């Protein structure tokens, strides 16, 4: 098993697989699951916004999604080696 980090800590272009969720906010986890995030899905960090790194753009499967920093921090990603 690879190292697990928060999605917002990935470097640009870095890829990984969703390992779970770290937020104790069940509404946020539900929202992220409704958007399409699920354990095992491949994600790639594409872009960080110019002001405070928000929004964060990620590729999830073949979809590009923009997230707030708090939302990206709630997604745990296993790094690919």
Domains annotated for the chain, with CATH where assigned, are: 4-79 (2.30.30.90)
Tell me the per-residue pLDDT of 39-54, one tens digit each, with 9 for 90 and over.
Answer: 999 999 999 988 877 8
Predicted TM-score of the model (pTM): 0.90
CA distance 81 to 74: 22
Tell me the per-residue pLDDT of 3-19, one tens digit each, with 9 for 90 and over.
Answer: 999 999 999 999 999 99
Q: How many degrees, rounded to 5, is the angle at CA 8 between CA 62 and CA 75?
A: 70
């Amino acid at each position: 098993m690879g190292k697990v980090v928060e999605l917002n800590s990935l470097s640009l272009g870095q890829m990984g697989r969703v390992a779970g969720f770290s937020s104790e906010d069940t509404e946020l986890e539900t929202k992220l699951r409704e958007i399409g995030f699920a354990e095992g899905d491949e994600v790639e960090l594409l872009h960080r916004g110019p002001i405070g790194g928000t929004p964060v753009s990620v590729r999830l499967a073949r979809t590009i999604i923009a997230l707030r920093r708090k939302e990206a921090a709630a997604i745990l990603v296993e790094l690919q080696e």
